[in-house]
Structure 1
Amino acid sequence: FTKQVEKNPDKIVIIFEDQRWTYGQLDEYSNRLARYIRTQPMSRGDSVAVIMENRPEYVGTWLGLSKAGFVGALVNTNLRKDVLIHSIKAANSKSVIFGAELRDAIDEIKDKLPGVGLYQSSEKPDTPVVEGAVDLNKSMVNISSDAVEVDLSLGCPRDKLIYIYTSGTTGMPKAAVINNLRYMLMSCGVYYMLGLEHTDRVYDPLPLYHTAGGIIGVGPALCVGITVVLRRKFSASKFWADCIEHRCTVAQYIGEICRFLLSLPPSPNDTAHNVRLMYGNGLRPQIWESFVKRFNVEQIGEFYGATEGNSNLVNIDNRPGAVGFVPRFGDALYRVALLRIDDETGEPVRGPDGLCTRCKPDEPGIFVGKINPKKAVHDFRGYADEKESEKKIIRDVFKKGDRFFNSGDILVMDELGYFYFKDRRGDTFRWKGENVATAEVEAVISNIIGLRDSVVYGVEVPGNEGKAGMVAIYDPHQTLCLQELADGLKKSLPAYARPLFVRVLAELPLTGE
């Protein structure tokens, strides 16, 4: 980033609404924040939670924290109450920097965060500040924007840069470690493998707390020198209009975005843009070709990868439906594989020798990547919680003593080596572009309905990507109050995590486990 600042200080790095931030301005903002935060009662290496909606200050905040020697933990802005508290504590955050737009969410949990510093970042002057919080804007007014002394020798490739939260395939949100090398790999990988250019403008309407928006979207701007156009929140009706207004040549997507765009009535904007490339994940084969044809997009860069994982795939040759390609003879070069699993237990099938069984072409299997601590690209840093990291490791896969990262995702590889995403196993399903942890939702519902038994799972809804939530509730005496349940869910869970369907059961089938 510093090299980009030195090379092009006046080049626009971020466009947001009517704002234009140059590399120099972003550098100065992050310098002021870094200088201020160093005066606060924290130690180098401490985690600081960052909770705010998309805007340039978001990028400047975690960048400044990094310059100061701290690790930004990028928290989902939809979380509330216990789940928000859990996420802040999961990364052992010593402080929280939050946007004024989220002050109500912080105000209702601040008493449960003793000893945690609170800093409010506001877009408008004289915005009311949460009681007990520091007004970050006023505190930074007289802080120098001169370059911060950064000991780059401490910024080793494997050092933590940020935390990004993921439910993975099981449990509550976990803070996944993103080190310097992984951030660079994802940012530069997209740039070089998909043929981006320094003159490109990338439209990024995705949340910056996710890998897709915060790294793969913003990363090429910080690391390579392109311009990124941010939007506070995605709008299907404004998507192509934004691309036209800001002269975007590249745009990001998730599968839901593509379906939303296709569902809109035809418009002149459909082909009046200059977007030649769209990259992201979740564009289903069923709508791939119709999407490309209607919107006249020359190239689709579909990719696959887990935030916390050590293996990624990318489709660089426009093959409809594929998430990536590894030559059948390339196994020794890029150690990923599909393992046959038991449909009942979800565990890998092992032979008489105790080793796992590799899937044949066109056979669904769990996607895994070999862990090699000697190669930073193939290392697995997992989560802030080492016990949670251990759960994602499969041992004795192809030989005794080897270790592989378990993605929890079911993929298929064809005869040529193209990979296709099929499903996600475990206690998580995906809806509206977000991972929903069933354990998290079940815990909230249990508190609302008086500790009755309930089971949450995902169900397919025709015409929609992912799976919608369904909850089965044990109510033998028919005393369940649905209005109370609805009100409680609205207060405690973001919209994407609230079950859309409720089954009321006189009996709740249980397994022997």
Structure 2
Amino acid sequence: MDAILAALVALMALAAAMAAVLSTLSKAAIFALLAVAPCVYRYRKWIYVFVKTLPRDSKFLWRYANGMVRSKRWGRQNATVASLFTQRALKNPDAPCFIMASKSNQVARAMQEHLGLKRGDVVCVFMPNCGEFVWSWLGVSKLGAVSALINSNLRHKPLLHCIQVAKARAILYSEHLASALEEIRDQLPPELKLFQLYGQPAPGVMDLGQEMDKHPPDYPVVSDPPQYKDTLLYIYTYLLVVVATVHMLGLKSSDRMYNSLPLYHTAGGVVGTGAALVDGIPSVLRAKFSASNFWADCIKFKVPQINEIYGATEGNANISAVGFLPKLVPTCLHPIALVRADEHGALTRGPDGLCIRCLPSIKENAAQMGAVGFLPKLVPTCLHPIALVRADEHGTLTRGPDGLCIRCLPNEPGMFIGLIAQGNASREYHGYVDKKDSNTKLERDIFRKGDAAFVSGDILVADELGYLYFRDRTGDTYKWKGENVATAEVENALGPTLDQRGCVVYGVSIPQTEGRAGMVAIADPAGAMDLRKLARDLDDSLPSYARPLFLRIMDKDLEITGTFKLKKLQYQKEGFDPDVIKEPLYFRAGAEFVPVTSQLFNDICHGRVKL
């Protein structure tokens, strides 16, 4: 009763205050307020979104404009990564970085001497994460040659395929991966030159370190120097990503970047190195990502800001979410938070049953729902270089009566696409080395007749504020251990072993685990599968991340019909639960496949089994 009386008193006081204010206003002012009020009410949601996103979008547009101006200037100067790095090294020769200028120059001179390497030639770089990886391709780039960065996890046929597709003149590799090259050496073209860094090279292999020591650390002399628009790496248009990294993240010379991602991918090899090479922003390079050491490293190097990026190496649809917890705003008002969690990702709760916020500089796991980017609300959708459009469950774009694509509404999942505009550095599409593969990622007549877009194959969703969240991957690929796995590649690798048996490969979700684990359904009505041999053959033909973790042995032939894709989706939904699937299920444990029991299923789902 007391609370009700207090509320009434407060309302009366508020009414009295409003009456006092109105009494001081002229009749014209009161009329104007009354006229505007319905309009404000009608567009209240739009006004809320505008006010909410104004600081974010203003910052984005300012940084984007600065980045584009800088990119245009580099274009007019015909600048390259090598020339910009040289300028930076001369200006600040003692500034910390993860490489030394002299080493890249010596690599270039050694390649000139033994290969006559020139502009447009290709060299494979096959190394684990290390500073040598970067100065190797940087030296190659000073001659105008292209470096094909090879995934250090590849072995056997996949490794041989990547080398052959690149049509390289040489391979630069470290002693750690020498055995992988020896396994396929007799299948390599005889004219391909091998250069090993460190260790004792096999007969016929040149010692890269010794060859480099024969040359002075001076910049190589080239008759046909590299140009601004030349291909640098067979992963992306490099300088544009450097611009985007530095400007969109608001990096300064006093900052540093922590890089634990593979250097053969765009994120680690371009985003993670470009800022150091071109802008002199130091990079903390880790040999391999470690979940158990990640937060310790963040504390050790005082990494105050963690950002999410989303993109495709071969495409033009790339976004980032610049995230931080503002210190000027009370934590109770933050829309996101870091809370304590155990090693399996389960939230830790206090005696009151509520979650516990993480303290600064404390090693704790993050439990945070985050966006991978955003669509600026200050910019009309017709000017956005990226979009979400409707698509069916197979990833086929849905089109309206006019034959054009349909934009998704807020909170409606859709296909993420990048609109192509050749001549615009941020919207050009370069695709793969194989142009036939590149065309499979293109769609035309998107929002008007004659336009074109890169189709990512990923389903994202945008909320009313424009923030984008990743939902799923469509088509015949899935992501596991941070790598893209093509189902067709796995099915082809299985072919010789299965001896004409039908199979279908797909990715299945595992609770509290990022990505999808590989699973294969195999038709074996006779029950004659040799699972040990299958495991050995998969190890010989596929990298570790692409090897299926689960097997489903079918007691009948697979349906090869027009609804085959629907069947594949059904298999995917059923997953690997032995209580759902009555056919034999197996899990890859070590060197063999073991039956999936209810206990094993629960252990996998609760993180008690290492994947």
Structure 2 length as normaliser, TM-score? Answer: 0.68
1:105 & 1:448 partners in 2: Cα distance?
Answer: 22
Q: CA deviation at 1:317?
A: 4.8
In structure 1, which of residues 46, 60, 83 is the aligned counterpart of residue 121 of structure 2? 46
**1:345-356 aligned within 5 A:** 345-356=394-405
Q: Which amino acid aligns with 2:212?
A: M
1:236 & 1:466 partners in 2: Cα distance?
Answer: 15
Q: Which amino acid aligns with 1:128?
A: Q
| Residue 119 (structure 1) aligned with residue 194 (structure 2) | yes
1:110 & 1:153 partners in 2: Cα distance?
Answer: 33
2:486 & 2:120 partners in 1: Cα distance?
Answer: 29
Greater CA deviation, 212-221 or 489-498? 489-498
1:175 aligned residue: none
2:304 aligned residue: 276
For residue 479 of structure 1, give the secondary structure of its aligned residue in structure 2.
coil
| Residue 322 (structure 1) aligned with residue 401 (structure 2) | no
2:548 aligned residue: 499
2:223 & 2:320 partners in 1: Cα distance?
Answer: 34
Q: Kindly tell me: are residues 229 and 327 of structure 1, through their superposed partners in 2, closer, same or farther at Cα, counting changes over 3 Å? A: closer
1:327 & 1:32 partners in 2: Cα distance?
Answer: 46
Contact 2:119-2:226 within 8 A present in 1 as well: no
Contact 1:188-1:223 within 8 A present in 2 as well: no
Q: Which amino acid aligns with 1:99?
A: S
Q: CA deviation at 1:484?
A: 0.8
2:322 & 2:118 partners in 1: Cα distance?
Answer: 43
| Residue 137 (structure 1) aligned with residue 209 (structure 2) | yes
2:224 & 2:86 partners in 1: Cα distance?
Answer: 11
For residue 456 of structure 2, give the secondary structure of its aligned residue in structure 1.
strand
For residue 503 of structure 1, give the secondary structure of its aligned residue in structure 2.
strand
Q: Kindly tell me: are residues 415 and 234 of structure 1, through their superposed partners in 2, closer, same or farther at Cα, counting changes over 3 Å? A: closer
For residue 471 of structure 1, give the secondary structure of its aligned residue in structure 2.
strand
2:496 & 2:94 partners in 1: Cα distance?
Answer: 53
Greater relative contact order (CA < 8 Å, ≥ 6 in sequence) = 1
Cα deviation digits, residues 58-115 of structure 1 (max 9, x gap): 1000000000121000010111111111111222222211111111111111221213
1:223 aligned residue: 278
RMSD: 1.9
Q: Which amino acid aligns with 2:239?
A: M
For residue 406 of structure 1, give the secondary structure of its aligned residue in structure 2.
strand
In structure 1, which of residues 289, 304, 313 is the aligned counterpart of residue 310 of structure 2? 304
Contact 1:46-1:94 within 8 A present in 2 as well: yes
Q: CA deviation at 1:49?
A: 0.8
Identity score, percent: 48
1:486 & 1:187 partners in 2: Cα distance?
Answer: 42
1:186 aligned residue: 241
1:333 aligned residue: 383
Contact 2:422-2:429 within 8 A present in 1 as well: yes
Contact 2:240-2:425 within 8 A present in 1 as well: no
1:255 aligned residue: none
Q: CA deviation at 1:209?
A: 0.5
Contact 1:120-1:130 within 8 A present in 2 as well: no
Contact 2:143-2:226 within 8 A present in 1 as well: no
**1:230-249 aligned within 5 A:** 230-244=285-299, 247-248=300-301
Contact 1:454-1:471 within 8 A present in 2 as well: yes
2:488 & 2:134 partners in 1: Cα distance?
Answer: 31
2:101 aligned residue: 27
Q: CA deviation at 1:150?
A: 5.3
| Residue 4 (structure 1) aligned with residue 75 (structure 2) | no
How many residue pairs were aligned? 433
Cα deviation digits, residues 170-223 of structure 1 (max 9, x gap): xxxxxxxx23xxx22222322222222212232211111111111111111111
Q: CA deviation at 1:476?
A: 1.2
1:195 aligned residue: 250
1:108 aligned residue: 183
Q: CA deviation at 1:243?
A: 4.4
Cα deviation digits, residues 418-438 of structure 1 (max 9, x gap): 211111111111111111111
Q: Kindly tell me: are residues 488 and 153 of structure 1, through their superposed partners in 2, closer, same or farther at Cα, counting changes over 3 Å? A: closer
**1:47-126 aligned within 5 A:** 47-123=122-198
| Residue 440 (structure 1) aligned with residue 489 (structure 2) | yes
In structure 1, which of residues 409, 417, 423 is the aligned counterpart of residue 472 of structure 2? 423
- Radius of gyration: which is bigger? 2
1:225 & 1:334 partners in 2: Cα distance?
Answer: 31
1:292 aligned residue: none
In structure 1, which of residues 401, 408, 419 is the aligned counterpart of residue 450 of structure 2? 401
1:102 & 1:420 partners in 2: Cα distance?
Answer: 37
Q: Kindly tell me: are residues 236 and 355 of structure 1, through their superposed partners in 2, closer, same or farther at Cα, counting changes over 3 Å? A: closer
For residue 292 of structure 2, give the secondary structure of its aligned residue in structure 1.
coil
Q: Which amino acid aligns with 1:338?
A: L
2:14 aligned residue: none
Normalized per residue, which structure has more helix? 2
2:458 & 2:221 partners in 1: Cα distance?
Answer: 43
Cα deviation digits, residues 292-324 of structure 1 (max 9, x gap): xxxxxxxxx222111111122111255642111
Question: Unpaired runs of 5+ in structure 1?
Answer: 15-20, 165-177, 249-273, 279-300
Q: Which amino acid aligns with 1:54?
A: N
Normalized per residue, which structure has more strand? 1
Q: CA deviation at 1:350?
A: 1.4
Q: Which amino acid aligns with 1:334?
A: H
1:92 & 1:332 partners in 2: Cα distance?
Answer: 41
Contact 1:93-1:116 within 8 A present in 2 as well: no
1:474 & 1:93 partners in 2: Cα distance?
Answer: 40
